[in-house]
Each structure stands twice: as C-alpha cells, then as structure tokens.
Structure 1
C-alpha cells in the first residue's frame, strides 16, 4: 500500500466516513495522495482525519449544493487543484412492497443521486477550466437490473449508472475522465439491514478498496466486481424480459440457499 503510485496529488472523497471510502482514503493517503475528506460533521470523520497523515477533514452535507461549492473552493485554495473526485456518499434502505418505506426511498434517492450530481456540479467547473481531472462515482452492480426487495437502492444506483454514461459521453475530449465503480455486496454498516442470506459473494471493505484502487489509476470507464455477479446481471439486462425475470428470481432463490 505504501509503495503504490497513483496519478493524483489531491483527491476529494465524499462519504469519506463510510467503510469503503474511508478505507480508500487511508490507502491513498498512505501512498502520498493528499485527501480532502468530506462527510457530515461527526466523530467518524474526525477519527478518519486524526488517524492518517495527509487526510484533511472538510465537513459538508452533499445535499446542500452551495455548501459543496464552498467546500471545493476551500480545498483548492488550501491544498491545490482536485485531481480526483471520488463521490461515495450513499445509503441503503430496506424495501418491502407490503409496507413501503417512502421516507427511506426518498432519502435513498436524495443521497445516492442528488448527492452525486451536487458534488459533480461543485468539482467539475475547475476541472473543465484546467482540462484535467477525474470523477469517480460509486454505483453498484444492482443498478443494472431490478432485484427482489431492493427497490430503493437499486433504483438510485440505476440512476447513477445512467448519469455516469451521460457524463462520459459529454466529457469526451475535455481532459476530464469518468469512472463508474460498481461493486457487489460489501460487508459494511450501510447495508447491515439487508438479509445476510441474500448478500451475493459478500466481500470485506478492505478487499473492495483494494480491487478499486488496483484499476482506478488507469482511469477506466467502469470498475465492476465480483465477476460472477457482474456477468450474470449484465447478461440478464440484455435479455428479453420473459427470460430475464425468471432468471433473476431463480438466482435470488439460489443465493438464499
């Protein structure tokens, strides 16, 4: 980790108090990247900043666009241009069709989608002016296809995947790269409410962060894993619905044992 080399000097990470982004922040900082860590004010953000040299706390709410723009201005004034914006603020809310949690759905869409575009709007202008930068967005494999009991999270990640595709097409030739990061289930507090029997090929936050950082420096459009789940969901996404729906039901039942 300490010997790794990355193409960024300054990385801005939203959702930095979360398990995956916190782990990425620590690994990048250990490799010499200066980290501007953003999350809502709290003990987790303070602990992250205190625990790693090169990690600076910039508390802000991603649902407040003006606050994010001011935060980016502070970061670039103090640390220099943001080379990498890793947008990872997010949440998971259970989805029960017999008792739909509307508040959970609305909060999921707000944090997982609005939080991303608010951060893009804050970081992108200076990147475009410099003709240089990298925007990486945390999505999910479960944004590729509908999944039982996953209506809130899946819908929000489907929106993020579509947004990333649009950004990729529009930013071609500007010098700004776009990466969508689509992991499967990661063992984090974010999805602790999800039925453990239905977590497909669950991985640790450490393994997830390592797999992301193995590829992110190359600025690919997509980083997706584990391969088995990625291939299955991308395949069923392209099939006629008369075939895809039974396959998803079968796969979901199989993973429950």
Structure 2
C-alpha cells in the first residue's frame, strides 16, 4: 500500500454523516486511507461513501451494542484490522431551566455517552489482543465547566471526559492509545440551535478537521482548541466554585455570550 502520510491503513468513524467526522473522512480518504463510515442509514451517509472510492458505508446504530459489534467485525473482515477508531456520533439539545426538555436530555446522554462506550466495546478487545490500536473520542471543551443553556450537552461531554481519563489510565502498557478531541464551538448543524451571538471563537468544520488530523497521528492524550476557550474553561474548572461562578457570570455579561 502506498504511503498515505498517516500511520493508519484502516480508520473506522462513527457519526460519519456529521459535519466534522464527514470532513475528516474525506481528508483521510484523499490521502489513500481506507475509511469505514458508520452512521444510521441516510442520504448523507450514502453521499459521503460516493465521494471517494476509499470510503465505504457501514450503516449501524451506535445505540445498539450488538449491531455495532457486528459492524466492527464486518469492517475488519472487508477492509482489514481497524488501526484507528474515531467515535464522533453526537447531538446537542438546548437546555431551558423554565421548560426542561427531559426527552432531549435523555437522548443527548444516550447518544453522546452510550454511543462512545458502545463503540469502544466493539473494537477494544481486538486491539488489546493484538496490542495495537488507537481510540479517538469526540468530547468538548464545554464538558469542563458548566455553562448556561448547556445542561444536557455539557453533562454528556463531562461524562465522556471522565470515560476518556479512566480508559487512558487503564490502557497504559497495552499498546493501545487514546486521544480525547475537545473542540469549542464549530459551525455545524449540531449546534445550529445555539444562539449564534453566544458562540465563542466559532470555527469552520474544515479548520477543525485540519487541526485534528495535524495532531492525531502523534497520539496525544488530548487535542483541544481554540486555545482561548480551552484556557478560559479549564481555568474556570480548576478554580474554587465561590470564585468560578462569579467569573463566568462576569464573562457572560462582558461578552454577551
């Protein structure tokens, strides 16, 4: 196989019909990487697969563990062992304290959290057995600190961050690496319902994909951006709460976020 410029021959991506993961899939395929694109059946998934001979659609529901395990096995049977698994299925639902969307909260937690661990369970045993592999989990900087209107999404990503930290500790010495990807606001349909005036340092999907793929081959624990949002939210997280809450309120008032 020709050198792709990346350390992976086969990459499995869940949530592949989404904006960020779809862009990553296209960029990998353009370099000759075989990409297994997984999402629920849709025209977007079909269009992604049709965009490159190096992208193949493997439809599956990440909320169905057995279906996802069967999907991963099919990918390896048809394309070869999965070198990198990127778990990117996710959703955002606005959180209004005056009218809490309980159904939206449950769906967000299920897709953003269960969808990740179901994917990990589908590929990790084989990676551990061959002592090689790379897991990449899509988190969010907004999982590091509470933020108004973000109760559902932020809670789900906080859980994802904890999962990633726990896995990283346990994977030491196994030959399997893990990377947590923590973007801030990206201009995608996922957060289209969020007030545009409150999106801090919003980034285009193309730039987001470029930043991820520039760093992911080095297998860092975390890829986080933009630096301004990362710095602020992680500083707030580390502050005592009697100080952090006033700081967040001041920042929101000062910036209109």
Query: Structures share a fold, TM > 0.5?
Result: yes
1:125-136 aligned within 5 A: 125-136=125-136
TM-score by length of 1: 0.98
1:49 is paired with a residue whose SS is helix
Residue-pair matches, total: 255
Q: CA deviation at 1:149?
A: 0.7
Which stretches in structure 2 are left out of the alignment for 5+ residues?
A: none
Q: Deviations over 1:19-55 (max 9, x none)?
A: 0000000000111110000000010000000011200
- Cα distance in 2 between the residues matched to 1:74 and 1:4: 23
Alignment partners' CA distance in 2, 1:49 and 1:254: 45
Q: Kindly indicate whether residue 226 of structure 2 is the aligned counterpart of residue 232 of structure 1.
A: no
Residue correspondence of structure 1 range 17-166 to structure 2 within 5 A: 17-166=17-166
Q: Deviations over 1:159-202 (max 9, x none)?
A: 00000000000000000000000000000000000000110100
Aligned to 2:170: 170
Q: Distance in 1 between matches of 2:133 and 2:255?
A: 40
Question: Which SS does the other structure have where 1:52 is aligned?
Answer: coil
2:103 alignment partner, SS class: helix
Q: What's the offset of the Cα at 1:249?
A: 1.4
Q: What is the CA–CA distance in structure 2 between the aligned matches of 1:253 and 1:15, rounded to whole Å?
A: 35
Secondary structure at 2:70's aligned position in 1? Answer: helix
Contact 1:142 1:157 in 2 (8 A): yes
Contact 1:148 1:252 (C-alpha < 8 Å) held by counterparts: no
TM-score normalized with structure 2 length: 0.98
Q: Which residue pairs with 2:211 in the alignment? A: 211
CA RMSD of aligned residues (A): 1.0
Q: Please, which runs of 5 or more residues in structure 1 have no aligned partner?
A: none
Output the CA distance in 2 between the equivalents of 1:235 and 1:53.
44
* 8 Å Cα contact 1:197/1:255 also seen in 2: no
Shift in Å, 1:254: 2.8
Alignment partner, residue 246 of structure 1: 246
Using the TM superposition, give the Cα deviation of residue 4 of structure 1 relative to its aligned residue in structure 2, in angstroms.
6.4
Q: C-alpha distance in 2, partners of 1:225/1:195?
A: 20
Following superposition, the deviation at residue 240 of structure 1 comes to: 0.7
Q: Residue by residue, what CA displacement relative to the aligned partner does 1:66-100 show, whole Å, maximum 9, x if unpaired?
A: 00000011000011000000000000000000000
Q: Check conservation: 2:178, 2:221, Cα contact below 8 A.
A: yes
Secondary structure of the 1:250 match is helix
1:248 shift after superposition: 1.1
The alpha-carbon distance between structure 1 residues 105 and 143, as it changes in their structure 2 partners (threshold 3 A), is same
Q: Is the 8 A contact 2:4 2:33 kept in 1?
A: no
